[in-house]
């Protein structure tokens, strides 16, 4: 049994045509992962992709990034119990996904 159930899906992705490392979502181009994720509701499934990989994750706590922070989100995949998205200066300098141990 899963500890959570995704409430809908929200796609967040990075496109070169959308200014290098900037994120795009349902609302358009976002300058930070924080701005994009804030459009999703808690426990709502989101899709992160940089064009090379795609990861389905679920936000399990409020995401407020100021400066350098790590946002903890939960993955519905049993093989990845937890994921960490690393951000710098509220702008995503690169997608770094690690499974928590």
Q: What is the DSSP letter of 41?
A: P
| Residue 18: exposure state from Cβ atoms within 10 A (0-12, 13-18, ≥19) | middle
Per-residue pLDDT of 20-69, as tens digits, reads 344 444 444 444 455 555 554 444 445 554 444 444 444 444 343 333 33
Per-residue pLDDT of 3-26, as tens digits, reads 434 343 334 444 343 433 444 444
Judged by DSSP in three states, 62 sits in coil
Residue 96, Ramachandran bin (φ over 0: left; ψ between -120 and 50: alpha; else beta): beta
- Rg from Cα positions in the chain: 13
pTM score over 0.75: no
The counts of H helices and E strands in the chain are 1, 8
Q: Is the pLDDT of residue 101 over 50?
A: no
């Amino acid at each position: 049994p899963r500890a959570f159930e995704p409430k809908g899906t929200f796609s967040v992705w990075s496109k070169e045509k959308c200014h290098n490392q900037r994120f795009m979502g349902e609302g358009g181009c976002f300058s930070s992962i924080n701005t994009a994720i804030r459009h999703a509701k808690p426990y709502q499934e989101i899709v992160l992709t940089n064009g090379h990989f795609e990861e389905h994750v679920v936000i399990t706590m409020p995401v407020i990034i100021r400066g350098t922070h790590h946002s903890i989100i939960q993955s519905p995949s049993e093989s990845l119990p937890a994921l960490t998205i690393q951000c710098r200066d509220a702008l995503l300098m690169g997608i770094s996904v690690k499974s928590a141990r």
